[in-house]
Structure 1
Amino acid sequence: MLTSEQIRAARALLRWEQKDLASASGVSLPTVKRLETKPGPLNAHGLTLQALHRAFETAGIQFIPESGDGGLGVRLRGRD
């Protein structure tokens, strides 16, 4: 599950604008903008969610699942 908050946080870590995410994922810019406006879990087709997730992971983002220690999050993988 991805949330709009995670998407915005991941973009911030990468210093990406919405157009950068659209380009990296193959998801249209209007769709990226729409998905980021609604708080909470993203309401999109499975292929769209996979494309966003894959683009972020390729760029070095790790998605942190919700746990007893805290909520959902993102982090930038360490550089090797």
Structure 2
Amino acid sequence: MLTSEQIRAARALLRWEQKDLASASGVSLPTIKRLEAKPGPMNAHGPTLAALSRAVEEAGVQFISGNGGGPGVRLRDPIHISQSEG
């Protein structure tokens, strides 16, 4: 389940503003503002959540499952990325 906190953290790691996420995902800026304003799981249609996830993942963010410590995000290892893409 994707949370508003994860999306905000992903944007912070990427140094993106909400408008950058809107551009990268194709999701409207008002929708992103509405989804990020409410804490917890994002209440949106599947295609909207998929577009948001895909945009930040393509930019280098990985989502981390709860594993008892709560969900989170992190940046992929740039060395690992360059080796697997090369």
Q: Which has the higher helix share?
A: 2
Offset, 1:46: 0.3
Q: Aligned-pair distance for 1:78? A: 1.1
Distance 1:18 1:36 in 2: 9
Letter in 2 for 1:43: N
Residues 4-56 of structure 1, C-alpha deviation per residue, up to 9 Å, x if partnerless?
00010000000000000000000000000000000000000000000000001
> d(CA) in 2 for partners of 1:18 and 1:62?
18
Q: Does 1:30 align with 2:43?
A: no
Q: TM-score, normalised by structure 2?
A: 0.90
Partner of 2:9: 9
1:75 aligns to what?
74
Larger Rg: 2
How many residue pairs align between the two structures?
A: 79
2:41 counterpart letter in structure 1: P
Determine the C-alpha separation between the residues in 2 that align with 1:18 and 1:78. 24
- TM-score computed with the length of structure 1 as normaliser: 0.96
Sequence identity of aligned pairs in percent? 80
The 4+ residue runs of structure 1 with deviation greater than 3 A are: none
Q: Structure 1, unaligned stretches of length 5 or more?
A: none
- Aligned to 1:74, what secondary structure does the other structure show? strand
Q: CA RMSD in A?
A: 0.6
